[in-house]
Amino acid sequence: MAYKIVFFGTSDFSTPSLEALLKDTRFEVVAVVTKPDAPIGRHQTLTPPPVKVIAQEHDVQVFQFEKIKTDESYDQLRGFLASARNDGKVDAYVVVSYGKIIPQRILDLPKHGCINVHGSLLPLHRGASCVQAAIAEGDQKTGVTVMLMDAEMDHGDILAQKEIAIGPEETGGQLHNRLSQLGAETLPDILAGYLDGKITPQPQDHSLATYCKLLSREDGKLDWTKSAAEIERLVRAYNPWPGTWTEWAGKRIKILKTFLSDLTSTKKAGELNVQNDKLVVICGDGNSLEILELQPEGKRAMTAKEFIVGRR
């Protein structure tokens, strides 16, 4: 008999894991819990989360709680899990990039607790921006952790980890996609092994824990007093979200792609200057960063050469 699963997820990081469980005959996804539909784009079109679309394609019950820490949300989930359709039990929750903190009383509802797929090698980079943090901090490797959830953030015992190397030019978006697929490839066998009683959870070494916050667009403002290497990593890490930017001539310029350069200049840190038809910025450590692609405020993305020609 298939294990009954309730899947919690919202973003496109979640979708490969949900699809992997839906295709695996060892599991029956009886419900999906996701965030409410949200306005997206310039015209603020009300758009369902990606996991909702997949759930509806497979005729799976969908819950979209505005707030999950309420008696109403708890009662709805408890009532659904106790319904005749589910034989009065659900074996486990699986949480992948849900985006809300789930209260302990909801975590306690399923028979075998709650399993989470996290996009870092815990205890490193606990928190919402774990993918960006790995690149920004200069890590050589990262991976996914399949773990049991408890009341604290990314704190529970580990069931399995899978590592991958971070490419020298890899962006946050590219790494996000690779980790999303790696999580989907790792999850089914580990989940089945745990529910079969074949995997023993291992506690994290909490003394090694590091943390990363939920990012906003303002976090993308570049501080040119940092080293060139730090800024180059940040530009990659924050591409596409939240993006990196600077101010020039009273307007914002998005910095899309950079390159560590050996060019020198007498300019101050943070001043844009043109050398040999290249757009260069001196950073706080005295090293230079060449800007390869950028987007001036109100204009399209362009190469540095196009920007230079336009300014002339």
Shared domain for 160 and 64, answered yes or no, is yes
Does 87 score more than 70 pLDDT? Answer: no
The structural domain count of the chain equals: 2
Question: Mean of the pLDDT values across residues 172-195?
Answer: 98
Task: Work out the pLDDT band at 126, boundaries 50, 70, 90.
Answer: very high
Shared domain for 191 and 221, answered yes or no, is no
Domain boundary among 182, 212, 242: 212
Shared domain for 201 and 221, answered yes or no, is no
Higher-confidence residue of 264 and 113: namely 113
Does 311 score more than 80 pLDDT? Answer: no
Question: Mean of the pLDDT values across residues 99-103?
Answer: 91
Query: Could you write out the DSSP letters of every residue in 65-123?
Result: -S-SSSHHHHHHHHHHHTSGGGTT---EEEEES--SPPPHHHHTSSTT-EEEEESS-TT
Range of the domain at 259: 217-311
Shared domain for 97 and 150, answered yes or no, is yes
The predicted structure's pLDDT at residue 84? 41
State the CATH number of the domain containing residue 182: 3.40.50.170
Domain boundary among 212, 243, 272: 212
Mean per-residue pLDDT of the chain: 93
Q: Measure the CA–CA gap between 116 and 97, rounded to whole angstroms.
A: 9
Shared domain for 221 and 238, answered yes or no, is yes
Shared domain for 75 and 145, answered yes or no, is yes
Question: Mean of the pLDDT values across residues 167-190?
Answer: 98
Please check whether residue 190 is in contact with residue 146, taking contact to mean a CB–CB distance below 8 angstroms.
yes
Shared domain for 231 and 206, answered yes or no, is no
Does 85 score more than 70 pLDDT? Answer: no
Does 312 score more than 80 pLDDT? Answer: no
Does 48 score more than 70 pLDDT? Answer: yes
Encode pLDDT of 235-281 as tens digits: 999 999 999 999 988 899 999 999 999 877 777 888 888 888 899 99
Shared domain for 208 and 221, answered yes or no, is no
Shared domain for 174 and 251, answered yes or no, is no
Domain boundary among 188, 212, 236: 212
Does 28 score more than 50 pLDDT? Answer: yes
CA Rg value for the chain: 23
- Beta strand ranges found along the chain (DSSP E): 3-9, 27-34, 38-40, 45-47, 61-64, 92-96, 114-118, 126-127, 141-148, 158-165, 211-212, 244-248, 251-261, 272-275, 278-282, 288-296, 302-303
Shared domain for 110 and 223, answered yes or no, is no
Shared domain for 55 and 87, answered yes or no, is yes
Q: Measure the CA–CA gap between 283 and 221, rounded to whole angstroms.
A: 14
State the CATH number of the domain containing residue 266: 3.10.25.10
Question: Mean of the pLDDT values across residues 79-85?
Answer: 72
User: DSSP secondary-structure letter at 202?
Assistant: B
Shared domain for 157 and 231, answered yes or no, is no
Q: Among 1-5, 81-85, 190-194, whose mean pLDDT is lowest? A: 81-85
